[in-house]
Amino acid sequence: MNPDIHKLQSYPFEKLAKLKSGITPPAEKKHISLSIGEPKHATPQVIIDALFSHMNGLSTYPSTKGIAELRNAIADWINKRFCKGRAIVDPESQVLPVNGTREALFAFAQSVIDAKHDALVMMPNPFYQIYEGAAYLAGATPYFMDCTAENGYLPDFDSITAADWQRCQLVYICSPGNPSGAVMSMQQMQQLIELSDQYDFVIASDECYSEIYFNDDQPPVGLIEACLASGRDDFKNCVIFHSLSKRSNAPGLRSGFVAGDADIIQQFFQYRTYHGCAMPVQHQHASIAAWNDETHVQENRRLYQKKFAQVTEVLAPVLPVKTPDAAFYLWIETGLSDEDFAQRLFAEQNVTVLPGSYLSREHKGFNPGHNHVRIALVADVEECLEAAQRIATFCRNLSA
């Protein structure tokens, strides 16, 4: 067995199940789960229709590179969203379909890291746990960039030493962030690009929440966009990861893409030909329909905007809560142990939220997720509002 497997920690939801074990919540209250970032809005019919109309694709093996029509649709979407409509991204050399960003983010480290050189993989803290597991199983050491209220829940690149940058081979960033929803600025991304030029590391930008935001006039900046603003259309050392799971409410489709530096994409493609992870052809056609349609994405945003407006209004009198920059999470300071908060909320109100410490690691004697909970507003408006009212009742009882 790979000895680094033993470095992997339990997944947050395994820890949560243990925390709730043996507790019987009030039976008269229907359980409401706000712990998992799994979209519950209906999958758009345009995607379903395209999927079923191409089921004859089951008779052929899919290719790792995907069909040209899908790569073209992805490149067109990137060019419209991040390149001001200019035909910058080349679908032949700079785009690769993947089976959702989770598997791609993990596999990417395996193809990028050279473990012979005491490699560091930098990642935000709190973080999506795949980053950490990918680093360990690639033979590298995770380096945690603490994201706290003091730094706007964003990595502080200035706090990292030159010696650590020299060891760095890969940096994961997540913008909009999970769990905070914080969005990196153009200037922050350009600073990271400059550091990549200086120290020659790869940037993996996880942007799977980029289409869920609350100011229609200010969509989150992407790494491709920051490259172009810096006069860099080769996207050297820069790769973005996008998914239809959140944007299009299709987590079961397992469809996304990576795009960016053509040299890296080519090497990642070669890795994936051995990995055996080609996207089924019918899923590719469904993905084309999704990337070509913005109407359902706009409606999706409208639903999240409605939910956040109503939920924050209910919670604001009892918790320090505000609408995030983007994504569908509330990242809330609890005023007491995050585990106690989550456990007691489940026991008294039959509402499940995720303790923040399960999403982060202790670093320099401090866990930035402590005394926070992540609330995923993924259910419908009525259920989210009911959950908010129960949480407000719970908090009032705490202070009584």
Task: For residue 241, give the CATH number of its domain.
Answer: 3.40.640.10
Q: Which domain holds residue 270?
A: 45-293
Q: According to the model, what pLDDT value does residue 150 have?
A: 94
pLDDT band at residue 60, thresholds of 50, 70 and 90?
confident
Asked if 281 and 338 sit in the same domain, the reply is no
pLDDT band at residue 68, thresholds of 50, 70 and 90?
very high
- Terminal CA-to-CA distance of the chain, rounded, Å? 53
pLDDT band at residue 376, thresholds of 50, 70 and 90?
very high
Which has more pLDDT, 58 or 270? Answer: 270
Question: Peptide bond preceding 176: is omega within 30 degrees of 0, i.e. cis?
Answer: yes
Q: To which residue do tokens 């900046």 refer?
A: 221
Q: According to the model, what pLDDT value does residue 300 have?
A: 96
Token pair in block for residue 14: 């395994």
Asked if 105 and 69 sit in the same domain, the reply is yes
| Domain end among 275, 293, 311 | 293
Asked if 137 and 272 sit in the same domain, the reply is yes
| Domain end among 258, 293, 328 | 293
Q: According to the model, what pLDDT value does residue 117 have?
A: 87
Q: According to the model, what pLDDT value does residue 74 have?
A: 98
**CA 186, CA 195: separation in Å to the nearest integer?**
14
Q: According to the model, what pLDDT value does residue 88 have?
A: 96
Asked if 286 and 166 sit in the same domain, the reply is yes
pLDDT band at residue 195, thresholds of 50, 70 and 90?
very high
Asked if 309 and 372 sit in the same domain, the reply is yes
Asked if 285 and 306 sit in the same domain, the reply is no
Per residue in 152-190, pLDDT (tens digit) is: 999 999 999 999 999 999 999 999 999 999 999 999 999
Q: According to the model, what pLDDT value does residue 2 have?
A: 85
Asked if 241 and 370 sit in the same domain, the reply is no
Per residue in 264-317, pLDDT (tens digit) is: 999 999 999 998 889 999 999 999 999 999 999 999 999 999 999 999 999 999
Asked if 127 and 251 sit in the same domain, the reply is yes
Q: According to the model, what pLDDT value does residue 16 have?
A: 95
pLDDT band at residue 398, thresholds of 50, 70 and 90?
confident
Q: Is it the case that residue 59 has pLDDT exceeding 90? A: no
Q: Is it the case that residue 390 has pLDDT exceeding 80? A: yes
Asked if 21 and 165 sit in the same domain, the reply is no
Is the backbone of residue 60 left (phi > 0), alpha (psi -120 to 50) or beta?
beta
Asked if 76 and 142 sit in the same domain, the reply is yes
Q: Is it the case that residue 400 has pLDDT exceeding 70? A: no
Count up the domains in the chain and report the number: 2
Asked if 170 and 82 sit in the same domain, the reply is yes
For residues 154-167, one letter each, b for 16 or more C-beta atoms within 10 angstroms of the residue's C-beta and e for the rest, the string is bbebeebeeeebeb
Per residue in 97-112, pLDDT (tens digit) is: 999 999 999 999 999 9
Asked if 59 and 158 sit in the same domain, the reply is yes
Please state the rounded mean pLDDT for residues 359-384: 94
Q: According to the model, what pLDDT value does residue 3 have?
A: 86
| H helical segments located in the chain | 12-20, 45-52, 68-82, 101-112, 130-137, 162-167, 186-199, 223-229, 244-247, 262-275, 281-291, 295-315, 338-349, 381-399
The pLDDT mean for the chain works out to 95
**CA 350, CA 325: separation in Å to the nearest integer?**
28
The CATH number covering residue 300 comes to: 3.90.1150.10
| Domain end among 244, 269, 293 | 293
Rounded to two decimals, the pTM is: 0.96
